Structure 1
Amino acid sequence: MSAFVKDADWLDWHPNPSKPKFQVPAGAVDAHCHVFGPGDVFPFAPERKYTPCDASWEQLFSLRDFLGFDKNVVVQATCHGSDNSALLDVLERANGKARGVVTVKPDISVEELQRMHDLGVRGVRFNYVKRLVDPKPDDYYREIIEKIRPLGWHVVLYFEPSDLKEKKDFFNSLNIPLVIDHMGRPDVTKGVDSEEFALFLKFMREHKNVWSKVSCPERLSVTGPKALDGEQNAYQDVVPFARRVVEEFPDRVLWGTDWPHPNMKTEMPDDGILVDYVPSIAVTPELQTKLLVTNPNTLYWS
């Protein structure tokens, strides 16, 4: 049992997800997921802004197999700060079937970065979502980038539309592959032709080394996973956004479950329904294979 007490309003991951009707193609990668602790083995960071439930590598790999995926890309959770021990433990146990995206500080040594690379780390994450972290000055991130550049890593950016507007010039100057979490979290109530989403698409068009995850409809949707009559209606208000990105940038999109779904406040998503959402945004077998197999393997295993 964890030595930490989870937040009173914390929602645990779904204990019994449905079996997806959509069979993912062979070699599919869940390209965005996390582990939490266990807190008694891998303590949560003192500066964290939330305390989660435990979510271990055993549970992650069990879900991977249940959903039909072959591999995982594990992204450092903000509750662990820059201590990547839990994530690196996953990579050590994965038999080559996992890659990692870490959070580091500018003073990290070249030797430690090389150790991470040898274990399967291929990127660092910069989080600009202020309710989760306190973003740092630009020079802080530049120093990290110059340390990881020789390893051929990329940068994962987590931001909201206002952050892109504010930080676009900085992002434009980085000259390193960028992966954007969850399409930059568009406000789906404003419609797919909104000024905010247009800025995001323009950013991708202008930079051929920018990728996007078309994941986390459960974080963006207002309508939710079910229609009023009880029929499945897999996050239909998010579909036009994700489909636009998949169809315009088919070679630069990724997808992941986001298990164990940190900081969901009203409803914990069913991971089986999330997998069944994929054919609504990647509507042909060719697009599905690029999204789930070719692109993540190119970025993380080539």
Structure 2
Amino acid sequence: MSAAPQEPPACQGPDPFVNPPGFAVPAHACDTHAHVIGHVNGPADRFPMVANRSYTPPPAPESAYLGMLDSLGMARGVLVQISVYGTDNRCMVESLKAHPDRLRGVAVVAPDVGDEELEALHAAGVRGIRINVLFGGGVAIEEMERLAARVAPLGWHIQLLIDARNLPELGPRMMKLPVEVVFDHMGHMPVSSGVVHPGFQWMLRLLREGKAWVKLSGAYRISQLGAPFHDTLDFARTLVAAAPERCVWGSDWPHVSVEGPMFNTGALLDLLPLWVPEEAVRNRILVDNPARLYGFATATAG
């Protein structure tokens, strides 16, 4: 008799208390990377998780996310389809429809997605698709060109959760895409690799040539030293120096699949003044850049 399939490991939830930021967050600031997971008061099987997921997260509903944004003084957010739901975007889309002025989305779709589904996602506030090669439930990088051709007419981008150390191989393909790309978590490569790594240099090239954006997020996913993640300083400052107009900030709430003690989400936002000491540049990263990338109403930081 074959053994029963093993349940993916459970992961902890975020710290429910959010420290207020230690700097002035500008009006219309945007958190460009977060996930919503289920509903606390809804049936557990309403949004079933895919069997090939890498982890099992606890609920992280829309209400908790919006409360976190309020605690940080952030007006806007971008929800990214989480890998545990595969290509079933319903949970995210419900939140987008409930808050059309405040939220935008990045979906995960199958390579053979129909035009009608793409148009419905666009109407709901989706502005990009995600390819995730690091966690189970994602879409393969081999589908990048095919998907890019499908979403280009909508003006969308492709968001990539990849290890940037692979960019010497993938970068030339990205240069030819008919859409821009967005790198999650500063390239999701360990800071020990250094900014001189060929993959990091490829990321800088894509930014400088206007082909890519990067999320200043996920410090805890690339840090070698752990909290307070100050070893990420060189990565972040190098990215901002290369293309400040191509950088956005993200919380990565609810911090799924984190090993070790959970940190406070507010502490992650407080890294931003260390990474970006100049207030004008910081406000551009928090307000103007995400407004342009995700199609929020144009607003000038103030």
Superposition TM-score, scaled by structure 2 size: 0.89
Amino acid at match of 1:136: A
Amino acid at match of 2:48: P
* SS of residue in 1 equivalent to 2:18: coil
Residue of structure 1 equivalent to 2:140: 136
Amino acid at match of 1:82: T
Please give the residue correspondences for 1:244-259 in structure 2 after superposition, counting only pairs within 5 Å: 244-259=238-253
- 2:281 is equivalent to residue 287 of structure 1: yes
Change (3 A) 1:177 1:134: closer
Q: Deviations over 1:69-119 (max 9, x none)?
A: 001000000001000001101101114200000000122211111111111
Residue of structure 2 equivalent to 1:167: 170
CA distance in 2, matches of 1:50, 1:199: 30
Contact 2:18–2:72 under 8 Å retained in 1? no
- 2:62 is equivalent to residue 57 of structure 1: yes
Amino acid at match of 1:270: N
* SS of residue in 2 equivalent to 1:87: helix
Residue of structure 2 equivalent to 1:41: 46
Please give the residue correspondences for 1:107-186 in structure 2 after superposition, counting only pairs within 5 Å: 107-129=112-134, 131-133=135-137, 136=140, 138=142, 140-186=143-189
Structure 2 unpaired stretches of 5+: 1-6, 297-302
Q: Deviations over 1:115-145 (max 9, x none)?
A: 111110000001122x43565363x332222
4+ aligned runs moved over 6 Å, structure 1? none
Residue of structure 1 equivalent to 2:194: 191
- 2:85 is equivalent to residue 80 of structure 1: yes
Decide which of 266, 277, 296 is 2:290's aligned counterpart: 296
- 2:262 is equivalent to residue 268 of structure 1: yes
Q: Deviations over 1:142-165 (max 9, x none)?
A: 222222111111110111033323
Contact 1:34–1:258 under 8 Å retained in 2? yes
Residue of structure 2 equivalent to 1:30: 31
Structure 1 unpaired stretches of 5+: 1-5, 226-233
Decide which of 224, 233, 248 is 1:222's aligned counterpart: 224
CA distance in 2, matches of 1:47, 1:135: 12
Change (3 A) 1:13 1:7: farther
Amino acid at match of 1:18: N
Count of aligned pairs: 287
Residue of structure 2 equivalent to 1:20: 21
CA distance in 2, matches of 1:154, 1:21: 32
Answer with 196-205 or 141-150: which moved more. Answer: 196-205
CA distance in 2, matches of 1:128, 1:42: 22
* SS of residue in 1 equivalent to 2:230: coil
Change (3 A) 1:122 1:181: same
* SS of residue in 2 equivalent to 1:24: coil
